[in-house]
Amino acid sequence: MSARRVLVLNGPNLGRLGSREPDVYGATSYQGLVAECERLGAELDFAVEVRETNDEGEIIRWMHEAADGRIPVVMNPGAFTHYSYGLRDAVAQRTAPFIEVHISNPYARESFRHTSVVAAVASGTIAGFGLGSYRLALRALAEELDG
């Protein structure tokens, strides 16, 4: 049996991990995040593909790809979390589990970060555990798919 395909999608500014506000997002680089997701994915029998974009249209197209292919998604929408109704509508079309992740705890930050427009159409949300949020999401995804 081949590994199950999983997309780990990241929105704006996440490619700057390690240099962007390390007090909030930690010191691990984006490449470190990619390596960790791929490593854990292999352990969970996932073929993990990690992507990052600063373009709202591109992340929406990736969600369409996932919906069309019945591909599970772990996503950190970044700033798109708070205002992208186009992304919310794309996530609502999902045909497989979708887990929203955040490195920081949005509720412990500025008030504009307290609203997620994608949360209501997600399988679940994991936030506030640093890069561990991605590990928890991949493990939750494995449980949901195997359950």
Residue 103 annotated as binding site? yes
Residue 82 annotated as binding site? yes
pLDDT of 1 reads: 61
Q: For the segment 118-147, what is each residue's pLDDT rounded down to a tens digit?
A: 999 999 999 999 999 999 999 999 999 987
Establish whether 102 is a catalytic residue: yes
Going from the C-alpha of 43 to that of each of 25, 62, 131, the distances in angstroms are 25, 24, 17
Residue 19 annotated as binding site? no
Tell me the whole-structure pTM to 2 decimals. Answer: 0.90
Q: How confident is the model at residue 104 (pLDDT cuts 50, 70, 90)?
A: confident
Q: How confident is the model at residue 114 (pLDDT cuts 50, 70, 90)?
A: low
pLDDT of 38 reads: 97
Structural domains of the chain, ranges and CATH numbers in brackets:
4-146 (3.40.50.9100)
Count CA within 13 A, CB hemisphere, residue 74. Answer: 32
- The rounded distance, in Å, linking the Cα atoms of 82 and 115 is 6
Q: For the segment 1-36, what is each residue's pLDDT rounded down to a tens digit?
A: 678 999 999 998 787 766 565 565 556 678 899 999
pLDDT of 13 reads: 78
Residue 116 annotated as binding site? no
Contacts of 12 (CB under 8 A, 6+ apart): 53, 54, 78, 79, 80
Which of these is catalytic: 102, 107, 114, 134?
102
Establish whether 25 is a catalytic residue: yes
- The rounded distance, in Å, linking the Cα atoms of 127 and 37 is 16
Q: Which residue has the higher pLDDT, 3 or 48?
A: 48
pLDDT of 147 reads: 75
pLDDT of 20 reads: 62
